[in-house]
């Protein structure tokens, strides 16, 4: 009798179980070729062919597909096998009784790592509990969403109040006596920061193409954030860098190349974003596993093929005052005070303190405040950080905006909010609600991945961005996998989605009678949740 091994990893311990019907299988091998995780394999089974009690049994050998049971090659539920199977003979089934995370920690003594997004949605989603309730009608007519002209631009850069403007009259002419902080008027949606390395070069190029097309052809002044790790030198020296927000994070990866390219830049970048924290893993630094550090990533970042772990904080910046004096001043000076410099922080109970201090910046050089909520995604993180740290974006955005109101300085430092936008369908609706709560604009990265064909979701499907084995070729550097991604198609999909979002934003603005972005117009929002109404100071309805 076979021994029962209860301490070994079993298929029932895994989060996904591969269901296979051998009667439908034609042994074409497409499922194994499509599985980037090597979670299935062919095996030979001994089957009874004929025979009974009185006759000798006869057996035959058949080839079948078996699920791999291991920590490294377990099924992530991406469903690629099901997509390519011509007969529907195989598919992943979610195991509601899995014990994988417990087994992994017990067997390896290590923290579980993954990419994608959190799989814990225990709190509910505040934005889904809010509706746009102020509809302009007879006394304050609604606007025509198609024929009316709407101003869908927002400032990126410090906006000084009237009493701080340095102008005087000279012989009847208005003369500027002191330089003004750099300011750009951009579209209120920014393509979120995802580095070359975290995503494949094909995905990154598709985003860059879409950004250039939207600006040059469509006339929508959208901007793209590069993420930490630098960008190709050819792009740095082209005119298209003016649509790029260059990010510097605590690892400073790729910045040597940016500095070397400065004398040859044909245009200034759209801005500089100093990333202090990330909403999906606040308190953690960046993580790029060695298996995603391809040769071109090494060249751009100036690193060997190794795990690239950014520190959790910028070294040498241990206070808000130091960050203003050192980082912001140096970045502004590097581009001759012509480029807005912003900061990105993870939403937390300390966010308001940071924002309050930045508002009091005597140099007036902090040009934007990016606030990232816990529902954001990430390329790699420890599961404990991804699932159990962070702060929802909605209430913390509202706190920051009201803090600025208390100082009488709302709008001076534009707030850009992100973290889970478009999670349940409409990106435009989420963006509009956040703008009404005080955001000048929004940013998103995960949505772009979904537009490109990401098969992951918020209920633990796939979410293996950290492995470099992305089955869609989006978060991988493997040449065979990245070829699955059609650059032109992805770029077209992003352009189409932005056009649809632009139309939907105008529809919401028209209904509320707003021809410009309703920043802070919380009177336009209602909710059936009393706690949400009290917390966000919006109208409670029933």
User: pLDDT tens for residues 120-153?
Assistant: 665 678 999 999 999 988 777 888 888 899 999 9
Buried b (16+ CB within 10 A) or exposed e, 330-359: ebbeebebebbbbbbbbbbeebbebbbebb
d(CA 503, CA 492): 17
Per-residue pLDDT at 245: 97
174-194 per-residue burial string, b: 16 or more CB within 10 A, e: under 16? eeeeeebbbebebbbbbbbbb
pLDDT, average across residues 281-305: 91
Rounded to whole angstroms, what are the CA distances from 281 to 313, 381, 382, 536? 13, 7, 8, 24
- Across residues 323-351, what is the average pLDDT? 88
pLDDT tier, 479 (very low <50, low <70, confident <90, very high otherwise): very high
Instruction: Categorize the per-residue pLDDT at 328 as very low, low, confident or very high, splitting at 50, 70 and 90.
Output: confident
Q: Rounded CA gap, 237 and 478, in Å?
A: 28
The pLDDT of residue 52 is above 70: no
Q: What is the pLDDT of residue 179?
A: 83
Burial of 214 (0-12, 13-18, 19+ CB in 10 A): buried
Question: In sequence order, what are the beta bridge partners of 156?
Answer: 184
pLDDT reported for residue 85: 97
pLDDT tens, position by position, 343-382:
999 999 999 999 998 998 887 888 999 999 999 899 999 9
pLDDT digits 0-9 by tens, 520-540: 999 999 999 999 999 999 999
Per-residue pLDDT averaged across 381-394, rounded? 92
pLDDT of res. 7? 83
Strand partners, 66: 41
Q: What is the pLDDT of residues 167-212, one digit of tens each?
A: 888 888 888 888 888 999 999 999 989 999 999 999 999 999 999 9
pLDDT, averaged across the chain: 91
Contact between residue 468 and residue 476 where contact means Cβ atoms under 8 Å apart: yes
Give the pLDDT score at 122: 58
pLDDT at 80 over 60: yes
- Tell me if 253 sits within 8 A of 281, measured CB to CB: no
Going by pLDDT thresholds of 50, 70 and 90, the confidence category of residue 504 is very high
pLDDT > 60? residue 1: no
The two most distant CA atoms of the chain are separated, in Å, by: 119
Q: What is the mean pLDDT of residues 418-426?
A: 89
Give the pLDDT mean for 105-134.
87
Percentage, residues of the chain above pLDDT 90: 72
How much is the pLDDT for 450?
93
Torsion of CA 467, 123, 426, 146, to 10 degrees: -140
pLDDT (tens digit, 9 = 90+) per residue, 402-414? 999 999 999 999 9
| Mean pLDDT, residues 446-471 | 92
Lowest mean pLDDT among 231-235, 324-328, 474-478: 324-328
Dig out the tokens for 273 from the structure.
């974003």
275, 252 in Cβ contact below 8 A? no
């Amino acid at each position: 009798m076979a021994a029962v091994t209860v301490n070994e990893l079993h298929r029932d311990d895994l989060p996904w179980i591969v269901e296979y019907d051998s009667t439908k299988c034609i042994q074409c091998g497409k499922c194994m070729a499509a599985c980037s995780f090597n979670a299935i394999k062919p095996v030979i089974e001994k089957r009874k062919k004929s025979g009974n009690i009185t006759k000798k049994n006869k057996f035959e050998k058949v080839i079948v597909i078996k699920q791999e049971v291991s920590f490294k090659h377990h099924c992530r539920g991406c469903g690629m096998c099901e997509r390519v199977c011509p007969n529907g003979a195989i598919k992943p089934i979610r195991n509601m009784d899995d014990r994988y995370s417990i087994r992994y920690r017990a067997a390896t003594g290590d923290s579980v790592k993954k990419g994608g997004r959190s799989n814990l949605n225990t709190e509910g989603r505040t934005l889904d509990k809010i509706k746009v309730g102020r509809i302009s009608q007879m006394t304050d007519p609604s606007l025509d969403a198609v024929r009316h002209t709407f101003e869908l631009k927002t400032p990126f850069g410090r906006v000084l109040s009237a009493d701080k403007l340095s102008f005087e009259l000279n012989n009847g002419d208005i003369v500027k006596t002191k330089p003004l902080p750099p300011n750009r008027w951009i579209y209120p949606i920014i393509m979120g920061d995802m580095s070359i390395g975290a995503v494949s070069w094909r995905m990154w190029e598709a985003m860059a193409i879409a950004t250039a097309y939207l600006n040059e052809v469509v006339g929508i002044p959208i901007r793209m954030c590069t993420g930490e790790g630098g960008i190709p030198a050819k792009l740095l020296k082209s005119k298209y860098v003016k649509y790029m927000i260059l990010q510097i994070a605590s690892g400073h990866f790729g910045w040597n190349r940016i500095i070397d390219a400065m004398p040859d830049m044909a245009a200034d970048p759209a801005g500089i974003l100093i990333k202090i924290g990330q909403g999906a893993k606040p308190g953690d630094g960046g993580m790029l596993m060695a298996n995603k550090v391809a040769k071109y990533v090494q060249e751009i970042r100036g690193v060997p093929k190794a795990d690239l772990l950014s520190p959790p904080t910028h070294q040498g910046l241990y206070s808000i005052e130091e960050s203003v004096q050192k980082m912001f001043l140096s970045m502004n000076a590097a581009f001759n005070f012509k480029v807005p410099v912003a900061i990105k922080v993870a939403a937390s109970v300390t966010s308001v303190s940071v924002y309050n201090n930045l508002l009091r910046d005597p140099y007036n050089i902090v040009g934007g405040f990016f606030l990232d909520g816990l529902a954001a995604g990430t390329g790699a993180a420890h599961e404990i950080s991804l699932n159990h740290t962070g702060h929802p974006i909605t209430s913390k955005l509202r706190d920051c905006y009201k803090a600025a109101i208390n100082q009488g300085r709302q709008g001076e430092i534009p707030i850009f909010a992100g973290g889970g936008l478009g999670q349940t369908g409409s990106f435009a609706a989420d963006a509009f609600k956040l703008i009404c709560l005080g955001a000048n604009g929004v940013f998103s990265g995960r949505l772009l991945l979904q537009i490109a064909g990401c098969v992951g979701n918020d209920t633990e499907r796939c979410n293996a961005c950290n492995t470099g084995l992305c089955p869609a070729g989006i978060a991988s550097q493997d040449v065979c996998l990245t070829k699955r991604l059609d650059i032109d198609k992805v770029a077209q999909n992003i352009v189409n989605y932005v056009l649809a979002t632009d139309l939907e934003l105008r529809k919401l603005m028209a209904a509320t009678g707003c021809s410009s972005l309703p920043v802070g117009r919380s009177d336009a929002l209602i909710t059936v949740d009393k706690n949400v109404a009290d917390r966000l100071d919006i109208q409670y309805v029933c």
